[in-house]
Amino acid sequence: MTIQGKWVAACVTDALKPEEALRLDHGGRTFVIVRSPEGDYFAIDGHCSHEKVHLADGIVDGGIIECPKHFGTFDYRTGESRALPACVDLRSYEIKLDGDTVFIKI
């Protein structure tokens, strides 16, 4: 079964520097958008799966975003948990660019 989503404008492309994170709240849900050093954009669930702290306040480095509370880490490209205490993967979301706007499919 294919799940249909809708595209939501997240930010403009120059809103994020490489390895910077941006919080997006939409429809009662929270996401984090990250720009890689190569200029690609990624989106995952915005709260750490350990204690629901927002990841946009964490450190982004080398494909990893670190939770600012207990330092659990996730691969921001896939949502995969990489270090304890985070042990549950986060959902990742499709991104598209249209002109200078970054869209997330939710």
User: pLDDT tens digits, residue range 45-104?
Assistant: 999 998 889 999 999 999 999 999 999 999 999 999 999 988 899 999 999 999 999 999
Radius of gyration in angstroms for the set of CA atoms belonging to the chain, rounded to a whole number: 13
Architecture (CATH level 2) of domain 7-105: 3-layer Sandwich (2.102)
pLDDT confidence of residue 2? 45
Q: What is the pTM of this model?
A: 0.91
pLDDT tens, 16-41?
999 999 999 999 999 999 999 999 99
Burial class of residue 99 (count of CB atoms within 10 Å of its CB; 0-12, 13-18, 19+): exposed
Percent of residues, the chain, with pLDDT higher than 90: 85
Q: What is the spatial distance between Cα 60 and Cα 99, in angstroms, rounded to a whole number?
A: 25
Residue extents of the structural domains in the chain: 7-105
